[in-house]
Amino acid sequence: MKISPHMQFLIRNGLKGFLWLIILLGGYFLFKEFVTIQNPDAWMERFYARPFIIYLIYFISEFFFGIIPPEFFMIWAINKDTTAHYFLNLAFFATVSYAMGYLNFLIGRFFLKHKTFNHYKKKLLKESWPLLKKYGLFLIIVAALTPVPWSAVSLLVGSAGYPAKKYLKYALFRFLRFAFYGYIIYQTHMF
């Protein structure tokens, strides 16, 4: 059975995303084992005393192309409080990511009408633009499920003039990513 190029693209990026999650979790467990073992309360207090700052950093990161992977925030949330609190944070993170993606989509739609942006779009997004032309809405699904920069793809798709309803429908896959990665982080943290 021959696999379509779209499916190969999804599988390849899905495996990259899963590998990234394993590396991230491995780094987290090594950090926890060798660095925070000396004085874990001091380390935890630094990050958990000011949750507003963590949420603000998350908003900024999701707006600016996911500078910090959402999995770091999931790991932060798993250590914060109860299981219910973790899953509420997970839902919050997923909703913010979806909303920031849509905001970037709208910014892309706004810039679509400006000639200056169209000139720079070809220079700045020369690597992503062929992917958009080749894979179209499938790129939205891949970006929603994998470490491909979500907000950047949303901006790109918006600047290409894709319909908002289609974007919002396919962008719902972002919630699936957070559910899957959140569940894996939850399961690995319980050991």
Contact between residue 104 and residue 151 where contact means Cβ atoms under 8 Å apart: yes
Residue type, 38: Q
- The sign of the CA dihedral 78, 81, 84, 89 is negative
For residue 11, what are the domain limits? 5-189
pLDDT tens track for 64-80: 877 788 888 888 888 77
**CB within 8 Å of 39: residues ≥ 6 apart:** none
What is the per-residue pLDDT for 165?
Answer: 93
Per-residue pLDDT tens digits of the chain, which is 191 residues long: 677 776 676 667 667 766 766 776 677 667 666 655 565 555 556 666 778 888 888 998 898 877 788 888 888 888 777 888 899 999 999 999 999 999 999 998 887 777 776 666 666 666 666 666 666 678 888 888 887 788 888 888 888 778 899 999 999 999 999 999 899 888 887 65
Angstrom distance (rounded) from CA 127 to CA 132: 10
What is the per-residue pLDDT for 190?
Answer: 65
What is the per-residue pLDDT for 66?
Answer: 75
What is the per-residue pLDDT for 168?
Answer: 94
The tokens for 110 are 């706004």
Q: Which long-range contacts (CB under 8 A, 24 or more apart) does 135-143 make?
A: 135/6, 135/9, 136/162, 137/162, 137/166, 137/167, 137/170, 138/6, 138/9, 138/10, 140/167, 140/170, 140/171, 140/173, 141/10, 141/170, 141/173, 142/9, 142/10, 142/13
The tokens for 45 are 């207090």
Q: 10 Å Cβ neighbour count for 146?
A: 21
What is the per-residue pLDDT for 100?
Answer: 95
Strand blocks (E) in the chain:
none
Number of domains comprising the chain: 1
What is the per-residue pLDDT for 109?
Answer: 86
